[in-house]
Structure 1
Amino acid sequence: MKIIIIYFILLSTVLYSKPVNLTKKEQIWIKNNIVKIGIEQWKPIVYLDKNNKINGLSGDILNLVIKRLNLKTEIINNKWDRLLNDFKEHKIDILPATYYTKQRDTYGTYSDEYVKIKEYIYVKNSNATIKNFENLKGKKVAIIKDYGTIPKIMKKYPSIKIIQTKDLEDSINKLLNNEVEALVDVQLSIENYIHDNMVVGIKGIAQNSFKSAPLYLFSNTKIPILNNILNKGLKSITSKEKSEFIYKWLNKANDIQNLDFLTNNEKLYLKEKRIIKMCNNPNLPPFEFTKNGDINKMEGITIDILNILENKLNIKFKNVATKSWSESQQFLKDNKCEILPFAVKNKERTKYANFTKPYLTLPLAIFTQKNQNIVNGLDDLIGKTISIKSGSSMIPILKAKYKDIKIKETFGVIESLQAVNNGNAYYTISNIPTVSYYMSQSILNNLQISGYMNITASASIAVNNNDEILLTILNKSLSTISQEQSRQIFKKWVGTTLEKTIVDYTIVWNILSVVGIIIIFFIYRQYILKKSNNALGNLVDIKTQELQTLNEDLEQKILKEVEKNKHIQEQLFKSEKMASMGEMIENIAHQWRQPLSVISTASTGIIMQKEFNILKDDKLIDTCNIINTNAQYLSKTIDDFRNFIKGDRVKRIFKLEDEINTFLNLIDSTVKNNNITIILNLEKDIQINGYANELIQCFMNIVNNSKDALKEGSEDNSLIFISTKLENNNIVIKIKDNASGIPKDIKSKIFEPYFTTKHKSQGTGLGLHMTYNLIVDGMNGMIDVNNIKYTYKNKEYIGAEFTINLPTS
């Protein structure tokens, strides 16, 4: 079998049978009437078995409807054409497996459709010319009399000569006797007949001319209440129950195959062997586990897969009872059994077993309690406690990568999950089908997938290393299992397919695309700004040299050069702002990593769930809310940055506290990366009539200087204090650090242009000079700096304190 990549997202419940809400009138009708049901021998769709019980795919569904509605029934068994004639004459009330035709719609009432089946073309093995319906034009084709597909074929291919037969046996005999060149019927039905009657010499051909056709419960038009009752019975059947019926009969049909894929030696081995002893893990749901606690009986995904292999190979897998997984492994070592059906290959096990190719590949996910944050991986969970089964192969891997990881070892998988569910551990790592199974049993009710691992677990069949031929047979037979069979097995054990939800992923991808474009734009703009800054710096050097060489018309030339230098200084002011913008862009890129990661993880998760048709509405809504929250955060960051760079010098009334918060948002990444703690003491509702954008620039220049000084300082804790208050119609803003203060010999120069203690590649020396001009000239305020001693949390510090005084209007 091809490797099956299983992406089953955690399900919180399984759909149980729904109640049948009958009206009083319907209840009375059921009590007072016997329903006559016509059953043909259309095996395995619907038929009477040797005990005269209704059986088959449609039969199972009909039986459940009868049971749920408590119908009293009378069964009439006959050939299809006779049943249909009796139905027209109202001698029969229900035909349970009927195709729709316009003609039938005139004398019967159709229920809701309950299953779809596909017709195949069958020809003799020697026929190599017929491959589709087009090749049947002008040829004779056998079809059971009054079969529902006949009108569709006649309409689309009028030149096909349809020979109506009594039943499927008659159709096959006519094909084998060359009376027709093909027959058309349901694949499941034909394959079943071929197997039961040992028919050889014919082959099936898949056709695309006609889609799979639905089957209906067909009821008497004179009893309209019966159709309403039947529909209510059908609606009571859950997706899970219907999937189990389909799997049951699909499994039987697919098992009817020959052993041409095996060599003669392999066939001889199976003929002599017949029974293969297996040891299972008695407690590994939903893969393999004891049935009702009986260690002699096993069930689960793996057991269902082995059931398919039993029918294919005509052998029996016999369970050797063990009490634990460890005992099962020991039994294989001691030759007490021959296979372990569900085993993950590792170095220790290869000493005594060979492994088939993986037939299951299970993604591992990170599970936390509900409403915890989505994570990008284990790096986001450092410091949190993980619960994991003692002896798990994951433990040494985790300890090697995360030396300080906190591990709570448990007795088993369910105990690990319960530890998270009950709050005794923050997270665990498990495969999704296992958790889905426990959720379906209502054992766990407080878990969610918070992230995915970049590793998977692959399951194989472990075979005793003395039996190479069995290993080869199992590999070949596993490869014949269809993906549809595997899908049905998983639907049976892990959960049901939920109703499809249409999800518009355009918004998600648009957000990611826009964010990507903005990042590229900002990076390019930063490059241009740096290049412009360097060019302007070189221009300053050139003009300074020219000033020194001036020797005639000194006064006029000095005035002219002063004007030029004033222009250059204005350009450098802009350059200083551009440099701040470059640093802010770096901050923003840093701040976006986490929300972008969350958006990517969340959107990938819902796409994955949608692909498997198991996306729940509440999960979709929660995930979209997460994406929206993070998108709003990105949008706010863009707005803050845009407001800063647009440069409009508009005087307006603004709240000081709001602008300080905007400033802090812009430098958030720088603060975090340099381990700086910001302590705020802001008076509420202070309003300024001024230039908010320029004030933010001043804050940024002051804090950047503090940051650089703190880097060079010796304090363990880097602190910056920002306080605001209103005094005598003046607004006082104070910003101080604990970087040991400004040396006395340079304190008086820090507001002078081009004064800097940094290397020339790190600063222009215009930051605080610009701040001084913006405060004093631009806002009619004052700015001063002093070294102060102060105490914070019982510890004495020394630092520089900038004091800004601004008028309120």
Structure 2
Amino acid sequence: MRILWLAILISLELLSASIDFSEEEKLWMEQNRVVTYVGDPDWLPFEAFDDKGNYVGIVADLLKHIEKITPLKFKIMRTSSWQDSIETMKSKQVMMMSQSKDYNTQTTELLSEIYYKNPIVIVMNHKQRYVSSLYNIKDKKIAISSTEGFFKKIKEKYPAIKFVEVKSIKEGLQSVVFGKSDAFVNTLAQTSYAIAKRQLNDLRIVGRTDMYTELGFGISSEHPLLKSIMNKALNNIDPNIQNDILSKWIQQKYVEKPDYTAFFVALGVFFVIAVIVLILYIKVQKETEAKIHAQYKMLEQQSKMASMGEMLDAVAHQWKQPLNAISMYLDLMKEDFDDGIVDRAYIDEMQKATHSQITHMTTTLSEFRNFFRPNADVVEFNLLQNIESVLLLTKDEFLKNDINIEVDVDANITIKGNENEFKHLVLNIINNSKDAFNENDVKNRSIFIRATKNEEAVSMEIEDSAGGIPENVIKRIFEANFTTKSASKGTGIGLYMSSQIVEKMGGKLSVENINNGACFFINFSIS
């Protein structure tokens, strides 16, 4: 008997030699050699029971490897459904179960280290191009499984999207195949496995969301030492072994030979474009700084400096989306390259999409340079085009602040004056509205820009729903250096310079509180 006990102790030391278990953890493993476990009986590629009753999948392979590097043995309890597995865990019939981090927050179980971050992806028809965000397809019918742990999290993040609820991955994919839905949202591992298994060649993964499901093991609160043992075991698994396990179940295999030449040509093209864009951006920054030091000395120049910071933020925000899109193109190209589906047509499509993003960035850059280019010329310019030029640069900033801008201006209206100065006028007024929305914490945020022309005058209105201007302030807002904002947010120059610009153009600027907001009136006499 003593010899048997000694053999057990020696075996335990050998198995755990490479893992730094505490004496308390070793004693627990001596007393609990078999760990009872329950999982989802139908959740491939992570876990399931095959036709012969064998427990298979990513989790099954992970547990087998943990048995090799620790003294633990896992007894897998078979259930009829995931709900049955949950009840088995709740009733303390087992020590451990498979869980996502989202689901674990709804339980009293302990959660182990995360062994896999499973990105949530978008599936559409194979002809669909890359989709960078769910907001890009918010007007389409998007299916989502209401049984998934991430269901509530997705609904909360995208409240404006009306999702089509389905009961399973199979139902979600079929809804896209048969045209009941335009897209289906689910995890990468399960989706790619289901598409390959069912040979749904008309579908493809067209993009990722910025959300993940994090997978680990839920451990009974009665066994906290089991949690620390599992954490050490999971952290001790060689990354190559873990990758082999994941790729065995997740990667799709193709017979076609990858076109390495096309891939590296596309990568080189992107690198050259990225360098050119970076050089242009640095050049514009230097030119802008030089103009600030050399020219902005008087009150009018101070107003431009105040708005330049906001415009630079707007341009940077405008660039963030296309840069993210280009980055995602590369990620998607790498994944598709690994899957062997990169061909000449694919590279042409990716190149076209990348050029589209670069064109958008170049247009924004050109508008930015024109906005701050000094120009004292008095010219006749198109009012609608002038306004749209300002909104192009500030679009993302106002979207970020949930502000809707509606423009109702006759495309044929022209006025005479300094075109760039008038852009500053429009920018000053809508920026004041943006600040008022945030300071007053207004929920429904709208700005209306209207203009009409008759035989006598051109009349323009910029109206917001930000709650209006206090009556004790409204009479002074066009005074120089008058502001109700903190020093970090206001200089008291913007509206004063706006009134000066209008007067120099022979017009009049006034303001009134109407319809739970403020309305600025700009009038130019045609005579």
Same fold (TM over 0.5): yes
Find the aligned partners of 1:510 and 1:764 in 2 and give their Cα distance: 46
Give how far 1:485 is off.
Answer: 2.2
Alignment correspondent of 1:626: 353
| Secondary structure of the structure 2 residue equivalent to 1:617 | coil
Confirm or deny that 1:490 pairs with 2:490: no
Give how far 1:767 is off.
Answer: 9.0
- Taking a change above 3 Å as real, the CA distance of residues 508 and 452 of structure 1, as seen in their structure-2 partners, is farther
Give how far 1:735 is off.
Answer: 11
Find the aligned partners of 1:707 and 1:470 in 2 and give their Cα distance: 61
Alignment of 1:790-801 (within 5 A): none
Give how far 1:286 is off.
Answer: 0.8
Find the aligned partners of 2:89 and 2:309 in 1 and give their Cα distance: 65
| Secondary structure of the structure 1 residue equivalent to 2:217 | strand
Confirm or deny that 1:291 pairs with 2:46: no
Alignment correspondent of 1:211: none
Give how far 1:288 is off.
Answer: 1.0
Find the aligned partners of 2:24 and 2:299 in 1 and give their Cα distance: 86
Alignment of 1:409-428 (within 5 A): 409-419=165-175, 424-425=180-181
TM-superposition CA deviations, 1:496-546 (whole Å, max 9, x none):
4774734364543554454445445545544554665553569xxxxxxxx
Q: Which amino acid counterpart does residue 407 of structure 2 have in structure 1?
A: I
Moved more, 408-417 or 466-475: 466-475
Find the aligned partners of 1:366 and 1:389 in 2 and give their Cα distance: 13
Alignment of 1:180-219 (within 5 A): none
2:342 to 610, 614, 617: 617
Moved more, 259-268 or 591-600: 259-268
Find the aligned partners of 2:423 and 2:229 in 1 and give their Cα distance: 73
Find the aligned partners of 2:227 and 2:426 in 1 and give their Cα distance: 70
Find the aligned partners of 2:105 and 2:297 in 1 and give their Cα distance: 66
Alignment correspondent of 2:270: 508
| Secondary structure of the structure 2 residue equivalent to 1:406 | coil
Give how far 1:320 is off.
Answer: 2.6
- Taking a change above 3 Å as real, the CA distance of residues 632 and 705 of structure 1, as seen in their structure-2 partners, is closer
| Secondary structure of the structure 1 residue equivalent to 2:189 | helix
Confirm or deny that 1:456 pairs with 2:212: yes
Percent identity of paired positions between Structure 1 and Structure 2: 19
Find the aligned partners of 2:309 and 2:110 in 1 and give their Cα distance: 59
RMSD over aligned CA atoms reads 5.4
Alignment of 1:72-87 (within 5 A): none
Confirm or deny that 1:325 pairs with 2:47: no
Alignment of 1:390-469 (within 5 A): 390=146, 392-398=148-154, 400-401=156-157, 403-419=159-175, 424-425=180-181, 429-441=185-197, 442-443=199-200, 445-453=202-210, 455-467=211-223
| Secondary structure of the structure 1 residue equivalent to 2:297 | helix
Confirm or deny that 1:718 pairs with 2:449: yes
Alignment correspondent of 2:119: 363
Find the aligned partners of 1:416 and 1:435 in 2 and give their Cα distance: 10
| Structure possessing the higher radius of gyration over alpha carbons | 1
| Secondary structure of the structure 1 residue equivalent to 2:461 | coil
Give how far 1:361 is off.
Answer: 2.7
Find the aligned partners of 1:666 and 1:763 in 2 and give their Cα distance: 21
Find the aligned partners of 1:479 and 1:524 in 2 and give their Cα distance: 48
Normalising by structure 2, we get a TM-score of: 0.61
Q: Which amino acid counterpart does residue 39 of structure 2 have in structure 1?
A: N
- 1:437–1:494 CA contact under 8 A, matched in 2: yes
Confirm or deny that 1:340 pairs with 2:94: no
Alignment correspondent of 2:478: none
Q: Which amino acid counterpart does residue 739 of structure 1 have in structure 2?
A: E
- 1:368–1:427 CA contact under 8 A, matched in 2: yes
Alignment correspondent of 2:497: 761
- Taking a change above 3 Å as real, the CA distance of residues 474 and 514 of structure 1, as seen in their structure-2 partners, is same
Find the aligned partners of 1:470 and 1:435 in 2 and give their Cα distance: 32
2:62 to 285, 293, 305: 305
Q: Which amino acid counterpart does residue 601 of structure 1 have in structure 2?
A: M
Alignment correspondent of 1:675: 406
Find the aligned partners of 1:482 and 1:417 in 2 and give their Cα distance: 35
Alignment of 1:725-804 (within 5 A): 739=461, 759-762=495-498, 764-765=500-501, 769=505
- 1:398–1:405 CA contact under 8 A, matched in 2: no
Q: Which amino acid counterpart does residue 264 of structure 2 have in structure 1?
A: V
Find the aligned partners of 1:767 and 1:528 in 2 and give their Cα distance: 30
Structure 1's unaligned 5+ residue stretches are 1-256, 539-571, 650-655, 683-694, 723-733, 741-756, 773-783, 786-797, 805-809
Which structure carries more helix by proportion?
A: 2
TM-superposition CA deviations, 1:686-716 (whole Å, max 9, x none):
xxxxxxxxx9986666677688899999x97
Aligned length: 435
Q: Which amino acid counterpart does residue 485 of structure 1 have in structure 2?
A: I
Find the aligned partners of 2:111 and 2:310 in 1 and give their Cα distance: 56
Give how far 1:328 is off.
Answer: 0.4
Find the aligned partners of 1:582 and 1:630 in 2 and give their Cα distance: 24
- 1:577–1:697 CA contact under 8 A, matched in 2: no
Alignment correspondent of 2:328: 601
Give how far 1:495 is off.
Answer: 1.6
- Taking a change above 3 Å as real, the CA distance of residues 593 and 266 of structure 1, as seen in their structure-2 partners, is closer
| Secondary structure of the structure 2 residue equivalent to 1:289 | strand
Find the aligned partners of 1:648 and 1:716 in 2 and give their Cα distance: 29
- 2:147–2:167 CA contact under 8 A, matched in 1: no
Q: Which amino acid counterpart does residue 634 of structure 1 have in structure 2?
A: M
Give how far 1:439 is off.
Answer: 2.0
- 1:365–1:432 CA contact under 8 A, matched in 2: yes
Find the aligned partners of 1:577 and 1:359 in 2 and give their Cα distance: 53
Give how far 1:463 is off.
Answer: 3.4
Alignment correspondent of 2:472: none
- 2:196–2:252 CA contact under 8 A, matched in 1: no
- 1:701–1:768 CA contact under 8 A, matched in 2: no
- 2:143–2:165 CA contact under 8 A, matched in 1: yes
- 1:421–1:447 CA contact under 8 A, matched in 2: no
TM-superposition CA deviations, 1:647-687 (whole Å, max 9, x none):
999xxxxxx99x999878744426855532455469xxxxx
Give how far 1:345 is off.
Answer: 6.7
- 2:145–2:186 CA contact under 8 A, matched in 1: no
Give how far 1:474 is off.
Answer: 4.1
